[in-house]
Structure 1
Amino acid sequence: MDQQQENQPSSTRVDRKIVEKNRRNHMKNLYSELNSLLPSYNPKQVVALPDQIDEATEYIKSLEAKVRMAKEKKERLIMERKRTRSGFSSDFEARGNLKPPKMEIHETGSVLRVILTCGIDDHFVFCEIIRILHEENVDVINTSYSVVGDSVIHVVLGEVGQSMFQSGASKVSEKLKWFVNRSICDEEMDPNVMGF
């Protein structure tokens, strides 16, 4: 024993031993808890403390890498969605149209009335609307159009079948709006609506 320990009362030395023992037990419990969080944890298997720490370190690094990859993927998806939305409008601007098409949908019972206003060169929009209606089993009763300046106004009348009467008109309306406006987020859309 050194001089300093000899000068300390024995009760102080015992207190320090107890504090140190409690600290070691507390650390042992923390290591055990950390080890129990690892995917390879087996309560029947005894693993040396340095190995536990190494395994926990590797596992934490792998989780950090997964989080980093998930963030990068999320950013790519957000950028892709922004490009898709802005690209739709840019397509019209690239062809000389300053305004993207506009559409009104009126539902009266089983009858859908779609009024589409688009540029003279944007016939594909009208064709796509007819395709969507056909895909959704809407009978196209009548179509008409008129040219006003550099715009074409298409009017499409369609009838929703009896089997789809309750929710069909709304579902078709949502698909048409999504196609023309590209303004409804994927999260807000019904998965069935996004299936085209």
Structure 2
Amino acid sequence: MKKSSNSEASKVDRKMVERNRRIQMKGLCFKLASLIPPHYIKPSKEMLSQLDQLDYAASYIKQLRERIEKLEGEKEEATSLGNSNKMIDTMKIGTKWPVIDLRDMGSSIEVSLISGLHKNFMFSEVISILHEEGAEVVSSSFSTVGDKVFHSIHAQVKISRVGVDTSRVLQRLQELVY
């Protein structure tokens, strides 16, 4: 009879260990899914299976790695150019003005706009477009170097659940400045 009670006790222990492991894994999966920006997942997170959430997380991590590699390459290229005057001279050769760069950073957006001194558009119109599309401007700055004006705008998404359609923002900004 001793063997029987020992095997039953070890069976109960294994069940508890497995139950705790599953609870822990579920918590870790939930935490991982919460780190994925809501706009990255088209259907609602609640409607996805755990496996689908893991697939989205893996895809998002892969995208972030590629973005990091690209940015590191750009940084390396920029630092190899030396001072900013060399970079501006290089930009004059092969770039049409104005240049718009919009970066989606999950809950925030960074807009970089480079234009000539004589390109007439209202900076307030750029800010209005961001507001209309659901972003709140946190900071903005500009600097003039030679005959170029460099604008930088940092905006926060007003309603994180809804997000901002960055492709629409970019399209509207292009219509404004071109």
TM-score (norm 1): 0.37
**Which is greater in Rg?**
1
TM-score (norm 2): 0.40
